[in-house]
Amino acid sequence: MARRAQSGLKPAHLIAIVALLAGLIGGGFMLLNRGVDPMTGLTLLSTEEYLDSSNALSGNTYKVEGTIDNRLDSWKGSDRLFSVQISEGGTFVPVLVPSKLEANIQRGQRYVFKVRVLENGVLEVMQLLKA
């Protein structure tokens, strides 16, 4: 007498289906909850260009990554001026943080700044994220 073929799912099929579902659910979760960098599309400031001729860059917007070195202004004004050590070359640039940003900036903290080059060469912060 001939044997009939078994019908139904084999354990290997069940494992493959569970793995596929887990991959789809995980991929969907990653797509929906991915972090969006608000500074995407900004050009990283070239410190060589900036130090050579900051006037040529005035009015442009850039991305700057660095560590707060020291506060340069000593008065209790509303805007604060900091010296920032740039990550790429270790050079220092002046960064003006307007009072409207209300950030508690301390020495030694790393930040990513969206800056605009002012006519006097100072980098005015438009947005900042603690790194």
Q: Please report, for the domain that includes residue 110, its CATH number.
A: 2.40.50.140
The answer to whether position 80 is within a domain reads yes
Question: What is the residue range of 113's domain?
Answer: 47-130
Q: What is the DSSP string of 63-129?
A: EEEEEEEEE---S--SSEEEEEEETTT--EEEEEE-GGG-----TT-EEEEEEEE-TTS-EEEEEEE
* Pairing status of strand 123-130 against strand 80-86: unpaired
The answer to whether position 69 is within a domain reads yes
CA distance 126 to 97: 8
Confidence grade of residue 76 (pLDDT, cut at 50, 70, 90): low
How confident is the model at residue 62, as a pLDDT? 94
The answer to whether position 2 is within a domain reads no
Give residue-wise pLDDT tens across range 30-73: 777 666 666 778 889 988 898 898 888 889 999 999 999 998 88
Give residue-wise pLDDT tens across range 114-125: 999 998 888 999
DSSP 44: B
The answer to whether position 38 is within a domain reads no
The answer to whether position 15 is within a domain reads no
Confidence grade of residue 6 (pLDDT, cut at 50, 70, 90): low
The answer to whether position 32 is within a domain reads no
Q: What is the pTM of this model?
A: 0.67
Is pLDDT above 90 for 110? yes
Number of domains the chain is built from: 1
Q: Are 129 and 100 in contact (CB under 8 A)?
A: no
